């Protein structure tokens, strides 16, 4: 999904954020006609053609991440990825244009720890007055998965409120 979000600044001007979020389905590579890294090439062709400021990706695998890192050069993009030891088969990646916040961009990766059975985590990106969160919450039809998902969304909300109160 792609969206433009606008924020009114003092004096009446607006600042635009073009945001794309996509679950790239990295673990289902056997269901596609090309390997995950080649699929990510095609995905990035489409996503980057929309000229996003921020891209939120879920279910990224190692080979897909290598493609993202190669395509989104460090001089132009900031890449926020999982940094904790809670390793699963796939993970979230947030990519932001440096021109959308320059040196003011800060990224954080937070594990849900005991509140996940599926190695889920949060990625935060803070830039100037914006805060963007990339979450891929627990999935599944069971009551346990539903409870975990609710707990994870509450953790996300508390973290966002904490960041906003620090201003």
Name residue, tokens 């400021």.
53
Q: pTM here? A: 0.83
Q: Identify the helix (H) or strand (E) that includes residue 78.
A: strand 77-81
Per-residue pLDDT band for 152 (boundaries 50, 70, 90) equals confident
CA–CA distances in Å: residue 161 to residues 90, 93, 108 = 27, 22, 15
**Residue 113: phi, psi to the nearest 5?**
55, -125
pLDDT per position as a tens digit, 1-40? 778 887 777 777 787 889 999 999 866 666 677 888 899 9
């Amino acid at each position: 999904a792609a969206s433009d979000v606008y924020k009114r600044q003092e004096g009446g001007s607006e600042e635009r954020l073009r945001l794309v979020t996509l679950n790239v389905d990295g673990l289902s590579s056997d269901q596609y006609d090309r390997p995950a890294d080649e699929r990510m090439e095609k995905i990035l062709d489409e996503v980057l053609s929309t000229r996003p400021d921020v891209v939120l990706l879920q279910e990224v695998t190692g080979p897909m991440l290598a493609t993202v890192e190669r395509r989104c050069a460090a001089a132009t993009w900031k890449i926020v990825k999982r940094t904790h030891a809670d390793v699963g088969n796939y993970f979230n990646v947030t990519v932001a244009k440096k021109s959308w916040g320059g040196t003011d961009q800060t990224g954080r990766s937070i594990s849900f720890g005991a509140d996940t059975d599926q190695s889920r985590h949060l990625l935060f990106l803070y830039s100037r007055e914006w805060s963007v969160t990339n979450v891929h919450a627990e999935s599944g039809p069971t009551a346990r998965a539903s409870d975990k998902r609710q707990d994870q969304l509450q953790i996300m909300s508390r973290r966002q409120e904490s960041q906003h109160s620090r201003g």
